[in-house]
Structure 1
Amino acid sequence: YHHALDINAYQEAWRLASQRYPVLRTAFDWDGEPLQIITAQPSLTAAHFRLEDLSQLSVTAREAAIVELQIADRAVAFDLSQPGLLRFTVIKHSDAHYTVLKTEHHSISDGWSGPLLWQTVHDYYQQLLAGQSPEVHPESTYLDAQQYLQQQQSATRSYWKSLQANLGEPNDINGLLSQPIDLSQPPVIDEPTETKLVLEEKDYQQLKAQCRAQGVTLNVAVQFAWHKLLQIYTGDEQTIVGTTVSGRDIPVAGIESSVGLYINTLPLALDWAADATIHTQLQTLQQRIAALNSHSGIALASLQRGGARLFHSLLVFENYPAPVNTGDADTLGVAFRSAVEKTDYPLSVIAYEQGDTLHIGLRHDARSLTTEKASRLVDQLQRILAAIADDPAQRHDQIPLLSRAEAQALLHSWNDTDAPYPQDKTLQQLFEAQVE
């Protein structure tokens, strides 16, 4: 916040937000089967806030101190038996500059909810500063959604039971890595890094136009590209990718403006018949993603065989709503600093649109995948996306992964082994000369 911050009013704004949104009053009972509990009273109090005055430090020392605060904060576990599974560190740079470090347990919210929650808090805060008493209208959508999902459990379980019968083994992704890892063990990502691809201008517009012509979304195009890359490197007849769905494709009033954890990560499988075209694969993915959204109210753990993972890579296409601009963010001088998210899959693909560009990030551990090879994988993803834009009627096994320069080097430069030899001797004579 590039503005003075009234700490008491700020804390009260968050308390009112917890009064409005049930998920902010969530706790869990772990005796026996986990049970989610939502308390009746607001759960966020002054105890959830920590104040750090770093205004006396130099800019360099202050930035270093903030990083240390972030690292230390991430090491503190939440007590899931207590409601209000988020906490705040308010850091003072100066009287007119504050940074708020917000840490929340992922069981209570998702990326879609973030802008909605911040907007509500800022609205309450501005009203409090103006001497007004904000009217809090408790949201019922989250509870309505949970009730709907419970009512659909039988149909959801039936859908997944039929789907499980056709799920093969998880793809061995070691062929994509620089250093093989034991996929039977949960990965430890010590050096998280990201290799990025940005499609813009002509490339973006052509892909977008082709998706419209095919009646599919950009999400489907990115899904196809990643599935195809897995299929090329593994040679498997079926690829399975963990796919994050919004969980909001349900007939509950107000679902798009509700705050809570609706997303889920579920297996998305695609079979690779030799004669399948890009077009047919895109259509299949479109249908299966729609089905996942309609049957997303199931725990991933319940689908796993003996607790073993169904997939080793994750794909997230972020499509969050833009909050209504009430002017509060501008008045408060709000600027987003950074975010840290934890994933425990060896390979994760994160994609989103921003303006007239498509951003794709390949997240991985630098120890198991070098920057050089990660860049090559991202380049190959781009060529698969280009094949979608150029000719979706072609068979998927005709997609070229080599650039013209790479093809020239492989087929011609590296095979340029011509050497002079005597024209007046036979092959037998040349061989005998070598023996002598």
Structure 2
Amino acid sequence: MTKFQPPGAPPAATAGPGADEAGTVPLTERQLALLRRHRAHPHDASSNQVFAIDLRGPLDDTELRSALARLIARHPLLSARLAPGPDGPDGPPRLHLDPARTPRLERRTATGHPPTEDEAGQELDLEHTGVLRTVLIAHGPAHHTLLLVMHRLVADGECAGLLLADLLDAYEHGENPAAAPRAFIAHTTAPAPRAIPDNPAAANSPGHPHEPGHPHETSHPAAPQTLPVTPRQHALLLDALAHHGTGRYVEQLFWHWHGPLDTGRFTTAWQSVFDRETVLRAAFDWNHEPRVVLHDQVTADVVHHRAGTLDWDDLLHQDRLRGFDLRAPGLLRATLLDDTRPTGDPRATDDTPTGDPRATGDTERATSTRVLITFHHALLDHWSVSVLLQEFYRAYLADGLLPGSERRPDIRDYAHWLARQDTAPARAFWSAATGPATPTTRPALPGPATGQTGWGRAQARLSRAESGRLRRWAAARAATESSMLQAVWALLLYRTGGAHGPAPVGFGVSVSGRGIALDAVERLPGLLMNALPVIVRIDPDHSMPRLLAQLRDQALDMAAYEWVSTAQIHEWSGRGADEKLLDSLIVFENRPRTSPALDAALAAHDIRISPPQTLGLHSAFPITLLASPGTDGSLLLTAVHDRTRISDTDAGRLVGLCARLLRELPSTHDESTTIADIVAALPEADLPRMTDDTAVGLP
């Protein structure tokens, strides 16, 4: 079995077979092929990887040189130069490693012509300079660009990001860390390395240009880049594979598209987004240890159904159960269903291909179309899809072609950021936060088997006036609606647990995962959303404001470690697999919405888009409570539940109790009202029942 490297370790290619800190190492077959190509096309810069790092602020020249030296000391292969092998000049060469050699830092002054392209086009002298060039370009006294030009013999797109992370670490934590300008840190941790090819057509190709005399080596595309899965993804994959065909972790959201819809442009726009976004071209491989595989090209999956050809509820059910092949890229798809049958070209049929002029002509006359986006949670969360939708709308308004935009971070940046995190403080925090006591986790009394299957949804809504009153009441106590929902859920857990004195309760809270120190992370599409355990001690003699303060403080403490997975936290808590920390999840939606400018641009084309509606995640949790603020100021509560664990009736009872408490709490003006007083108003006859199950997995 292949031995995989821990997160943050340099890729296997960086170590090299038999590489010592000094000496020589033989070239692999792939490296020999790359070398032959380099010699056949010495000025073809596609043999190089060029990465540009923006340095803002005062530059410490000595510390930068020291950082480069420390980087090479950590990754000796970067010091490699070509040297004759044991068979002499006529035999295959080797790489000679000399990590003690001081790296040469070339200097340039920026001119009108972009210097990065010039430097990328220069041939690397592998025998003398080696496999790495470092170039410092001065734009001014407080603005520089550091270029790292690496030959593909030692660096590809995957490992280079980790090398750059190590460079930052070496610069930031060198002998004089105080000298590191803050702007350097801010500008290099956020954007991923940016490859600058001399031949864009070759760079965009999945393979290399043909090499005469070596057809076998150039007839296949280069192997896709891979990334380690995050701990969160690892747990999701295991659970998803164990429940294949059930729709678990398949998410859906939909909205109404009012006005003309050009199906061909719609499809082209999504394809443009797929071409731009790395995460949409990702898949998984788990032959050994799970990895994320990044593909070069994926065809967007868009299907259009005419009105009357398919029932909406049937479509939702079938589409969820269809699921995804997690080994294949394209873990997001779009389905269109016309609400009214258009009266267009009679030649068009239900099987008319997407993009056919007859289909396009018909759909343009549809008065309303439901748009369904289905995606797998192992790669995307709702925040991510909202970001992608903004890109899609921009592309649609630009005739299907996504306009150019500035670089923003993607899943590679997040993987590199995550690999650099020190888990020791997180372990210490979560070990203390989870505590040794076993909390009450079920928001219902024990009940008999339900006799039902599948997943259900129960809803209750707070009106605009009720939601506003709740928001004002919470704000007066330095709390939010989300905190109120957590407090109410904790009360239900306490009440159904049958406790009579102080006792802990536990539930999960969804966080966006975008509070981390990664520049522009709010625009990063990927799986950052996380479910964190909240274990709070309920004292019946305490007041509601005191409970809210307790939850608020706990949320502030957790914020620094929201990137840690539930499975890691469970392990650090010291509990066994059958000892639960949480049996339910609260999700308070806070994803980005379309901007007024974008709405206006769509309106100029007679298009009006309704707010997307989430259909709820089918996860390992028996019940998830989803809170969705409405555009009208209302608050919609949705309980998505496993019907084998909790019946439709009991789920409706549970979400109804939540809404009832949220409505009534603002009327409790007397701060002396205790938790015991509140839960006493919930008679046992009104409480829901829930079937026990000790085999619930952790997401």
Both proteins in one fold, TM over 0.5: yes
Partner in structure 2 of residue 113 of structure 1? 384
Q: Which runs of 5+ in 2 are unaligned?
A: 1-256, 343-361, 684-699
1:20 maps to what in 2? 276
376-385 or 27-36, larger mean C-alpha shift? 376-385
Structure 1 distance, partners of 2:511, 2:526, is: 14
C-alpha offsets along residues 374-424 of structure 1, whole Å, 9 cap, x if unaligned? 337624652366335523443221226539xx9xxxxxxxxxxxxxxxxxx
Letter in 2 for 1:150: A
Post-superposition offset of 1:151:
2.3
Distance change in 2, residues 1:328/1:62 (3 Å): farther
The structure that is helix-richer by fraction is: 1
When structure 1 is superposed on structure 2, of 273-282 and 88-97 the one drifting more is: 88-97
- With over 3 angstroms needed to count, the CA separation of the structure-2 counterparts of 1:145 and 1:392, relative to structure 1, is farther
Are 1:216 and 2:479 an aligned pair?
yes
Q: How many residues align?
A: 386
Q: Which residue of 2 aligns with 1:415?
A: none
Relative distance call for 1:267 and 1:388 in structure 2 (3 A) is farther
Structure 1 residues 392 and 197: alpha-carbon distance in aligned structure 2, compared to 1, 3 A threshold: farther
**1:44 matched to 2:298:** yes
Contact 2:514–2:528 under 8 Å retained in 1: yes
2:519 is aligned to 253
Q: Distance in 1 between matches of 2:412 and 2:656?
A: 41
Read off the aligned partner of 1:113 and give its amino acid letter: S
Secondary structure at the aligned position of 1:240 is classed as strand
Match of 1:29 in 2: 285
**1:99: how far off?**
4.2
TM-score in terms of structure 1 length = 0.77
Q: How far does residue 163 in structure 1 lie from its aligned partner after superposition?
A: 2.6
Q: In the alignment, does 2:395 pair up with 1:148?
A: no
Assess if the C-alpha contact under 8 Å between 1:115 and 1:322 holds in 2: yes
- 1:290-301 superposed matches below 5 A: 290-301=556-567
Identify which of 328, 346, 353 aligns with 2:629.
353
Matches for 1:15-414 after TM superposition, within 5 Å: 15-39=271-295, 41=296, 43-45=297-299, 48-52=301-305, 54=306, 61-64=308-311, 66-91=312-337, 93-94=341-342, 95=362, 96-97=365-366, 98-128=369-399, 134-140=403-409, 142-154=411-423, 155-166=425-436, 168-175=438-445, 179=448, 189-190=453-454, 192-201=456-465, 203-236=466-499, 237-304=503-570, 305-308=575-578, 309-325=580-596, 326=598, 327-330=600-603, 331=605, 332-335=607-610, 339-344=614-619, 345-354=621-630, 355-364=632-641, 368-369=646-647, 371=649, 374-375=652-653, 378-379=656-657, 382-383=660-661, 386-387=664-665, 390=668, 391-399=670-678, 401-402=680-681
Secondary structure at 2:485's aligned position in 1?
helix
Task: Name the SS of the counterpart of 2:309 in structure 1.
Answer: helix
Deviation at 1:135, TM superposition (A): 1.8
Q: 1:338: how far off? A: 5.6
Matched residue, 1:421:
none
Label 1:78 to 1:372 Cα distance change in 2 as closer, same or farther (>3 A). Answer: closer
- For 1:267 and 1:379, locate their aligned partners in 2 and report how far apart those are by CA, in whole Å: 22
2 CA distance for matches of 1:205 and 1:69? 36
Measured at CA, do residues 128 and 387 of structure 1 come closer, stay the same or move farther in structure 2, by a change above 3 Å?
closer
User: Partners in 2 of 1:339 and 1:232 — Cα distance?
Assistant: 29
Cα distance change of structure 1 residues 99 and 233 upon mapping to structure 2, 3 Å threshold: closer
Question: CA shift at 1:234, angstroms?
Answer: 0.8
Instruction: Quote the Cα distance in structure 2 between the aligned partners of 1:166 and 1:85.
Output: 39
Partner of 1:425: none
Report the aligned-residue RMSD.
3.2
The offset of 1:230, in angstroms, is 1.2
The verdict on how the C-alpha distance between 1:291 and 1:22 changes in structure 2, with shifts beyond 3 A counting, is farther
In structure 2, what residue type is equivalent to 1:110? D
Task: Sort the Cα spacing of 1:370 and 1:104 in 2 relative to 1 into closer, same or farther, 3 A.
Answer: closer
Structure 1 counterpart SS, 2:382: coil
Cα drift, residue 29 of structure 1:
2.1
Matched residue SS, 2:587: strand
CA contact (8 A) 2:333 2:374 kept: yes
Q: Could you tell me how far apart the structure 1 residues matched to 2:643 and 2:315 are?
A: 24
What is residue 413 of structure 1 aligned with on the other side?
A: none
Q: 1:242 to 1:120 in 2, by over 3 A?
A: same
Q: Matched residues in 2 for 1:204 and 1:361: separation?
A: 15
AA matched with 1:383? L
What is the CA distance between 1:323 and its match in structure 2?
1.8
Structure 1 residue 210 displacement after superposition: 2.3
CA–CA distance in structure 1, aligned partners of residues 610 and 472 of structure 2? 33
Q: Percent identity?
A: 23
Tell me which structure has the larger Cα radius of gyration: 2
Is the CA contact 2:641–2:651 (under 8 Å) kept in the aligned structure 1?
no
CA contact (8 A) 2:265 2:396 kept: yes
**TM superposition shift of 1:271:** 0.5
Tell me if structure 2 keeps the 8 A contact 1:28–1:82.
yes
Matched position secondary structure for 1:243? strand
Amino acid paired to 1:135: G
Task: Give distance in 2, aligned partners of 1:69 and 1:373.
Answer: 24
Residues 198-224 of structure 1: CA deviation (Å, up to 9, x unaligned)? 1442x4333222212211111111100
Q: Determine the C-alpha separation between the residues in 2 that align with 1:300 and 1:371.
A: 30
Q: Which has the higher contact order (CA 8 A, sep 6+)?
A: 1
Going from structure 1 to structure 2, the CA distance change for 1:253 and 1:329 (only over 3 Å counts) comes to same
After superposition, the Cα gap between the structure-2 partners of 1:72 and 1:393, relative to the gap in structure 1 and judged at 3 Å, is: same
CA shift, 1:340, in A, is 3.1
Any conservation in 2 of the 1:277–1:395 contact (CA below 8 Å)?
A: yes
The answer as to whether partners of 2:303 and 2:334 remain within 8 angstroms in 1 is: yes
Change (3 A) 1:71 1:386: closer
Whether contact under 8 Å (1:276, 1:395) holds in the other structure is yes
Q: Name the CA distance, whole Å, in 2 between partners of 1:125 and 1:381.
A: 40
Tell me the distance in 1 between the aligned counterparts of 2:612 and 2:535. Answer: 36
Deviations 1:276-313, CA, capped at 9 Å, x for gaps: 22222111101222333321222222333443342222
Amino acid at match of 1:127: A
Conserved? CA contact 2:444–2:493, under 8 Å:
no
Residues 272 and 5 (structure 1), Cα distance of their counterparts in 2 relative to 1, 3 Å cut: closer
Shift in Å, 1:112:
1.9
Q: Counterpart of 1:414?
A: none
Q: Do the aligned residues in 1 keep the contact of 2:440 with 2:494 (CA within 8 Å)?
A: no
| Aligned-partner SS, 1:128 | coil
Q: Structure 1 residue 124: deviation in Å?
A: 0.9
What code does the residue aligned with 1:45 have? T
